[in-house]
Chains A and B, each alone.
With several copies, the nearest count.
Chain A
Amino acid sequence: MSGAGPSGASLRLEIPATCESLELVHEATVRVATTAGFASDAAGEIAVAVGEAMTNVVVHAYRREEGHDIVVRYAADASGLRIELEHSGEYPDRLPAGIDLAKLVAERRRGGLGVHLMRRLMDRVAHEEVAPGVGCWILERRRREPKDADRKGPDPSP
């Protein structure tokens, strides 16, 4: 068992990698972020970003196959909140680039927004190979003073 984070907002969650698990992770994320001092708007946004990463794992990494787990780790400190989602499914060589919403609509696409949304809601989004065959989404959100002034996030609008 690892030690608790400085603000008490540390948590490790191991859960079946299914869409059914998304809401439990959403609720846990809202509570961890709130406990770590984020306002409820910001906590909701962080939870949506974590949900996008988890959906990516369920849908793309494990292709909706049953029987896989995902590990979600939260760590809060004075600078902000970091969330890692570890899995042993497929992962992309590089993250999808920015999106062209009008083009997606013209093509009647129903997806392609996930990574883009994560990037817009978080200060850092990365996917790393942390061990052979083990991929990890890393999401970070810094505290903003005063009270989330820059609500648009750090990613300049394309």
Chain B
Amino acid sequence: MPDLEVATRRRGAVVVVEPRGFINAHTVHRFEEVLNRLAADGDARIVISGRSLSYVASAGFGAIMGILEEVRASGGDIRISDLNATVAHIFEVLGFDRLCQTFPTEAEAVESFSTAEAGGKSGDP
């Protein structure tokens, strides 16, 4: 039972990142590696699916913060889907709901990149 595995898959021009397990200061480097590589490769349209996430400590939000400017500067964005109640609440109390759009499902998050290129309103505030 690995603590964290990070799966990625392509959905058209969008890359979906699905961390499986939990993200804390011990496991975050695997999540960070994937995000950093995507940002470095110019894969700027990123959906992070929380479907298989049990919890995220602040280190996980730090990994997103660290590349968000770079991703947006190259015309992309990081959007979030499928957060469980605990993760959604942490997302909200940190103010990430005002920083990144969240969607109930991965499909809606992926779709949002084709309907409006940037700055649309949140599908699931």
Contacts and interface: CB of A to CB of B under 8 A. Distances in A.
B13 interface: no
A111 B93 contact: no
B24 interface: yes
B62 A110 contact: yes
A117 B69 CA distance: 22
A121 interface: yes
Interface residues of B, number: 32
7 contacts: A47-B55, A48-B55, A101-B99, A105-B69, A108-B70, A113-B94, A152-B92
A14 interface: no
Contacts of A113: 58, 61-62, 94
B37 interface: no
B interface SS class: helix
A44 B68 CA distance: 27
A7 interface: no
Contact of B26 (A19, A47, A102): A19
Contacts of A22: 24-26, 57
Contact of B57 (A52, A109, A112): A52
Interface residues of A, number: 37
B113 interface: no
Interchain residue pairs A-B with the least CB separation, the first 10: A19-B26, A113-B58, A44-B86, A120-B93, A110-B62, A110-B66, A55-B25, A101-B95, A19-B25, A117-B58
Nearest to A23: B3
B65 interface: yes
Contacts of B25: 19, 22, 51, 55, 58-59
